[in-house]
């Protein structure tokens, strides 16, 4: 049974003690106990289930449809999120740009399908006219 100091990755010195088939590595550094609070932020699902947790206007009650409007409006009230004008402008621009992208996607879809089906109608109309001939021509 012999002891040998080993430098591991330049971090700390370990003492290796060889026993029959196994090797035990122990650090020469002091042991440090780290205490972690299991629940640092006290929260419960009951608190999250109440509508007043998100907005005071919603907390007034669910008697009318106003709470649905307030639920939607709070997400788009950029002034309540921050006071930085640059960040507010960036959020408004990105929201409008996203809305425009959806609108243009739907418009391009309508143009594509409109053109496709108009060609199909036109093609079927041409095929129908090939079978037609004037009465005096049929001999």
Domain assignment present for 118: yes
**pLDDT computed for residue 105 by the predictor:** 95
Domain that holds residue 118: 82-131
3-state helix, strand, coil in the chain (%, to 5): 55, 15, 30
Per-residue model confidence as pLDDT tens digits over 74-106: 666 776 777 888 888 888 888 889 999 999 999
Domain assignment present for 96: yes
Instruction: Work out the pLDDT band at 130, boundaries 50, 70, 90.
Output: low
Is residue 118's pLDDT more than 90?
no
Domain assignment present for 46: no
In this structure, of 18-22, 43-47, 69-73, the range with the lowest mean pLDDT score is 18-22
Domain assignment present for 24: no
Domain assignment present for 99: yes
Domain assignment present for 113: yes
**pLDDT computed for residue 1 by the predictor:** 44
**The total number of structural domains that make up the chain:** 1
Give, as one character, the DSSP assignment of residue 136.
G
Domain assignment present for 109: yes
Domain assignment present for 13: no
């Amino acid at each position: 049974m012999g002891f040998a100091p080993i430098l591991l990755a330049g971090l700390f010195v370990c003492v290796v003690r060889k026993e029959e088939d196994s090797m035990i590595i122990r650090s020469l550094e002091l042991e440090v106990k780290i205490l972690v609070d299991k629940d640092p932020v006290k929260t419960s699902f009951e608190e999250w289930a109440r509508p007043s947790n998100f907005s005071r206007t919603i907390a007034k009650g669910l008697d009318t449809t106003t709470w649905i409007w307030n639920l939607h409006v709070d997400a788009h009230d950029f002034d309540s999120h921050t006071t930085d004008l640059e960040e507010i402008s960036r959020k408004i621009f990105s929201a409008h740009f996203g809305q425009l992208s959806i609108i243009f996607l739907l418009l391009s879809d309508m143009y594509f399908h409109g053109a496709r089906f108009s060609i199909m109608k036109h093609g079927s109309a041409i095929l129908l006219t090939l079978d037609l001939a004037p009465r005096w021509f049929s001999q």
